[in-house]
């Protein structure tokens, strides 16, 4: 499955890219799986994904928990918690 991943704020800064398109391995079925797979890529990915509990996600522009299934998604966004003000 091909998926576009968007990165925001300090996640983007650590990875060094705002977005990328990847082909997911078959074992990546949830956002948590995606985070673990990205972390295993090393470098800035490991740094950005080191504390999954500090990450938030959206699938096709809908906020989801990390346990959400990716399914037939076109896009997953990964970002730190957002505060209002």
In the chain, where the domains are located: 2-79
3-class state of residue 66 by DSSP: coil
Q: How far is CA 40 from the centre of its chain?
A: 13
Element (H, E) at 46: helix 43-48
Q: Give the model confidence (pLDDT) of 1-32 as tens digits.
A: 899 999 999 999 999 999 999 999 999 999 99
pTM attached to this predicted model: 0.94
pLDDT at 82: 74
CATH H superfamily, domain 2-79: Beta-grasp domain (3.10.20.30)
CA–centroid distance for 5 within its chain: 6
């Amino acid at each position: 499955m091909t998926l576009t991943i968007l990165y925001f704020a300090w996640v983007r800064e650590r990875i060094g890219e705002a977005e990328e398109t990847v082909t997911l391995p078959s074992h990546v079925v949830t956002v948590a799986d995606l985070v673990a797979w990205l972390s295993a890529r090393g470098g800035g990915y490991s740094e950005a994904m080191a504390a999954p509990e500090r990450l938030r996600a959206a699938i096709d522009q809908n906020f989801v928990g990390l346990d959400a299934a990716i399914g037939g998604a076109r896009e997953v966004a990964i970002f730190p918690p957002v505060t209002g003000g």
